[in-house]
A and B are shown apart, each in its own frame.
Chain A
Amino acid sequence: MAEQYAIEMLNITKRFPGIVANDNITLQLRKGEIHALLGENGAGKSTLMSVLFGLYQPEEGVIKKDGVEVQIKDPNDANALGIGMVHQHFKLVECFSVLDNIILGVEPTNHGFLQKDIARKKVLALSEKYGLKVEPDAKIEDITVGMQQRTEILKMLYRDNEILIFDEPTAVLTPQEITELMQIMKNLAAEGKSILFISHKLAEIMAVSDRCTVLRKGKCIGTVETAKTNIEELSAMMVGRNVNFHVEKKPMTPGNVVLEIDNMTVASKIHKNNAVKNVSLKVRQGEIVCIAGIDGNGQTEFVHGLAGLDPLVSGKIFLEGKDVSKASIRQKSILGMSHIPEDRHKHGLVLDYTLEDNLVLQTYFTDEFTDKLGFLKRDAIRNYAEKIIEEYDVRSGQGPITIARSMSGGNQQKAIVGREIEKAPELLIAVQPTRGLDVGAIEYIHKQLVAQRDAGKAVLLVSLELDEVLDVSDRILVMYEGEIVGEFDPKKTTQEELGLYMAGAKRMEVKA
């Protein structure tokens, strides 16, 4: 008799207009195993999981549970089959309590009235059994990301799910929290749950999974026993070539101070405390300074305060020696500050504008593009856009007149990078510039950052990815709860050491 699988996805093909997202993919999950699904951004992992979860219907292929073919038409079907998922972006209602979020959709009721006491008992029992510490009555918006994730896991357990999908669960956690999560996953597997673990981080996959299926460009490359492989082999399978993960760069030759921040404090929009507290730092010509930290520790507010999107509570900012604490965004931009924003759709682009109109977003008002009467110089804009498109290899359907919305994420980001660098800035602020991009685009953007540094510009990088932090930067500052709690030389530190500071377990005095 064939081996018993908890779930099998056989020869799944899913097409979208113009692209085959999943091309004849087979994935078999054994009972009680932790099975990793590895692939780059855009390799088709999310699509495959959406198929399993009933969000998409595949054109071809079958799904079997315990050897029996099943139809999964919507998340309800998946739920009924005992499939649960922790989404990469948590699906939690922020103003609801932990308990309300766990029971949402499967509420115990009496004639339509909620019976929260019954639910609370069950949640507390589960929380005890698996070591998932939560406060049932706290609101989601008030608790840590780690507890939000535990809430998501409890949501699956509360529904007695047997097959648990974790979609990139470590992106938001500290190295220590990641270790904790791995332990939880192992406990769950030991209790007989079958786990699918989606990731593009090789070390985590090596550490926790039993087997690993690799996807590349929508195709299934193969399934391997984790114990019989190594990181190099996996990475070659994932990318299709040997990747040089290390960024080549010359030794740094720092020059004058370009940016000096003195005791900057920025208020939070979410809670009443300040999100950034008395931060002081300096960035010099020819160096890449990186702010590392877990998401939500004040990095966003720090950048918004620095760029002028949010007002400062106190403190001073000097750009090339000039006090710009009260200067407008436009003034700072003219004085030489460029900013690659964290969220390219929210801030970086006007998605309904054409590519060329987006490329002059920072410079449209200059004499180069606007005449004395206030009319735009369309020819000059076209020429300038064509130049950037060529230099930065921005690919799009119709060139300068492509609507930005229709472009791929990588090309949108290249357009933003090109726009901000072509402005010839003295200081380049790059916030998570490689988020959601494939390896090729990541390499390209890293090269551009290093090129700016080598050209004697100051670069301030804000990143959540420790690999990127260690590879690209010349100096690392760790931010924890809005404060700089450590300064490191990337050559002399490790992920583990950084992790302790990022989690607030250790701190040191840092002088700007």
Chain B
Amino acid sequence: MRKNIWKTNGMQSLIASLICIILGLLIGLVVLLFINPKGAFGAIGTLLKNFMIYGKASLRLKYFGTTLVKTVPLLLCALSILFSYKVGLFNIGCSGQYTAGCCAALYAALKWGWGWFPCILFAIMAGAVAGAIVGVLKSYCNVNEVISGIMLNWIILYLTNTILSNVKEPTSPYTYQLSQYGKNALLPTLGLDKLFNNNANVTMAVPISILIAIVIMVVLNKTKFGYELKATGYNKNAAKYCGMKENRNIILSLVISGAIAGLGAALYYQTGIQQWECTTASVPGMGFNGIAATFLGGLNPIGTILASYFIQHITLGGAYVDKTMYCSQISDLISAIIIYLCGFVLFLKIMMNKAIDRIEEKKALKNEVSKEGSAK
């Protein structure tokens, strides 16, 4: 039997994601119309345009680079969430692991003057440790990973504020600029900055993040380790029955998940694009937007690349929205609506399958009728 292309999982995920995006934007539009009908269409257009709002091609290119730089941490957070989700765990502690990575990278860079590579490793380790705590609590104490993840997010946030206060500007709440006090830790650009109109923030981070996505896909689909992790995620009883070490896999997957999030922080802050604000009062949104990107990407690493870019694109687009009418948080609002809609993906897929079955049935019926007709 020929397989109907519309019935493949990838195709359905893509369609479902597109439906979520379109519906999310439509609902966002309705909200904007409600707030101020005059500028609503323009505002949605601005979100979608982002850097295209600039007239000059050179400026467009430069801010396209910035969008890519900011997509890197989001992509890695999304991959972090995706990786643990394959083992059946919802790593909402990703934000905390990301923060831990940021803390480690900046502290090592500014206090000890480490080079970029050891800084990255240190950030990975910090994220991994944060992930390991959640994993250990989950596997040995049966603590729901969502609740422990949230608790750790706050603990890590306060710790980071305290620790990074040692390397902050005396007059502002921000940490020192890497370009002045931690040059060694700046990531090599590999000449990529030249491609984006000398945007110095475009570094090796961009290709590395895509590489990581591909590696994760290979690990999950082609290796023994991936086979074990997915088996644990689908049916942990069966995994235990056939001798897989469930606890080890849970901890390991959260350690890797944390490490990816930590890496994400290092690849972002070590471009020097932004400093940590030591009075930050809420957990970085990166980990939460990562959830949106993970599910919008259909839980597929490659889909996640596209989804992360999209989310970051509209988030940055939010900054250009006319402030006299709307605030920049409308892009957060739309991301949140999109995650909510992603909850319906399963239902959408069932509906699609039903529709396809109906069409196929009709076709089969037609074929029969035409056969009968020709037989006569």
Contacts and interface: CB of A to CB of B under 8 A. Distances in A.
Interface of A: 307-309, 328-331, 333, 339, 341, 346-353, 357, 361-362, 364-365, 370, 374-376
B241 interface: yes
Contacts of B240: 309, 329, 347
Most buried by B among A307, A341, A375: A375
Contacts of A352: 234-235
Contact of A346 (B222, B225, B231, B238): B238
27 contacts: A308-B243, A328-B243, A328-B245, A329-B240, A329-B241, A330-B243, A331-B243, A333-B243, A339-B241, A341-B241, A346-B238, A347-B238, A348-B238, A349-B238, A350-B234, A350-B238, A350-B239, A353-B231, A357-B227, A361-B231, A361-B242, A362-B243, A364-B224, A365-B224, A374-B224, A375-B224, A376-B227
A341 B235 CA distance: 14
Contacts of B234: 350-353
B225 A374 contact: yes
Interface residues of B, number: 18
A170 B70 CA distance: 65
Most buried by A among B223, B235, B240: B235
Contacts of A370: 224
Contacts of A328: 243, 245
Contacts of B225: 374
Contacts, number: 60
A361 B224 contact: no
Given A328-B243, A361-B242, A376 B223 contact: yes
Interface string B227-266: 1001100110111111111000000000000000000000
Contacts of A348: 238, 241
Given A328-B243, A330-B243, A333-B243, A347 B224 contact: no
Contacts of A341: 241
A361 B238 contact: yes
A374 B221 CA distance: 12
Interface in B193-232: 222-225, 227, 230-231
Contacts of B239: 350
Contact of B242 (A333, A374, A376): A333
A366 B234 CA distance: 22
Given A328-B243, A333-B243, 13 more contacts: A308-B243, A330-B244, A341-B241, A347-B238, A348-B238, A348-B241, A350-B234, A350-B235, A351-B234, A351-B235, A361-B238, A370-B224, A375-B222
B362 to A, nearest CB: 16
B231 A350 contact: yes
Nearest to B244: A330
Contacts of B230: 353
Contacts of A349: 235, 238
Contact of A329 (B227, B235, B243): B243
